Structure 1
Amino acid sequence: MMSKPDFLGGSGQDHFRPELQVESPEGELHLRFFIPSHQEFALLATGIREVIELSPDKITPIPNVSPLLLGTLNLRGRVIWVADLGQFLGGTTALNTDRAEIPVIAIEEQDTIVGLAVDEIGGMHWLDVQHLMAPTNVPDTMAPFLRGEWLLDAHKKQCLRLLDQTAILRSARWAG
């Protein structure tokens, strides 16, 4: 009998409630990650082109652009914008770029690619979307970019919020 690779089911020390994880790869595969405010988010894996960790000096700052944008990055011969996802979602804490590597999630729709710089990658997990709930207690700046949330711990009011990558890519906020 073959066992599943570790990346399919998460670590054995996952803090998810068991009913949220799908034991066989029948649910939807998601990437979990954190922004500087320590909030946890997820993106559907099918909209992610790739996830890279790179030195901050690989991101070229561009003057006179939106403060949400850290700069540009050469992604396999294609120049893409890299944004601080936490600030894009309305957070006040800027991403710490004074470190060895910055995790960047390159999301793609049709011919548009944007790199989302995050604080930490949590890993790939199969999640049961049947347990997805409408987001609660969400700031107005974040609400248009959420598809829902999973409750992780009711006592600590921790949740995992599912982002809508299409809404992020099509946002008018990039021009601001």
Structure 2
Amino acid sequence: MVQSNDRFSSLPINSQFRLENSTQGNNQRFLRFPLNGKVNGLLPLADLRGVIQVALTEILPVPQVAEFLLGIMNWRGEAIWILDLAGLLGATHWCRRESVRNSGMAMLVQVQNQTVGLLVEQVNTIEVHDPQERLEISTSMLPGRLGSFLQGYFVDSQGSPLMLLDTQVVIQALQPL
């Protein structure tokens, strides 16, 4: 079910995305999304409050904050920060990309009593992975800034890495606010 509002639509994650793997044992569910054209990321579903579509015109810029903070927006009567996830991880800022998109998907995570939206271009599927199959990231694999925001990675059926986002470390980047 998709709930509509005049500003954005909220996607209930439990019914909109197909499961790619079966659930067995100690497996956990993750939301898959592209970090860039070649690498996909995973966000633990346990950390996710919801996913919403966001138009850039709905984000109110806030002066003198970190560049990866796009601004705040109203979500269900609550002011939430919208963070450019790729920008935080060291990629080109959302507004400086060659093909700037006017909207994206915000993965909403709860930070104590505040909701924060992690803006990405799209979300793909919900997948199930065994946490014991998670691989460690070596310092030579990725630039230091990116590696510090990840818990490790899984390998998908095509042999591509799926980078596991460490939600707590991402949230710590907001602490000076």
TM-score range (shorter-chain normalised) is 0.7 to 0.9
Cα contact 1:135–1:161 (8 A) shared by 2: no
Show CA shifts across 1:88-138 (max 9, x none): 011135365843531111111322321111122112112222211002402
Structure 2 distance, partners of 1:67, 1:36, is 18
Structure 2 distance, partners of 1:85, 1:111, is 20
SS at match of 2:168: helix
Which amino acid is 2:144 matched to? Answer: D
Structure 1 distance, partners of 2:104, 2:55, is 6
Residue 9 (structure 1) aligns with: 19
Structure 2 distance, partners of 1:73, 1:106, is 12
Structure 2, unpaired ranges of 5+? 1-14
SS at match of 1:166: helix
TM-fit CA distance, 1:7: 3.7
SS at match of 2:148: helix
Which amino acid is 1:9 matched to? Answer: L
- Identity percentage of aligned residues: 26
RMSD value, Cα: 2.5
Tell which deviates more after alignment, 162-171 or 88-97.
Answer: 88-97
Question: What's the TM-score once normalised by structure 1's chain length?
Answer: 0.77
SS at match of 1:142: helix
Structure 2 distance, partners of 1:115, 1:148, is 22
> How many residues get paired?
157
Indicate how the Cα distance of structure 1 residues 93 and 159 shifts in structure 2: closer, same or farther if over 3 A, else same: farther
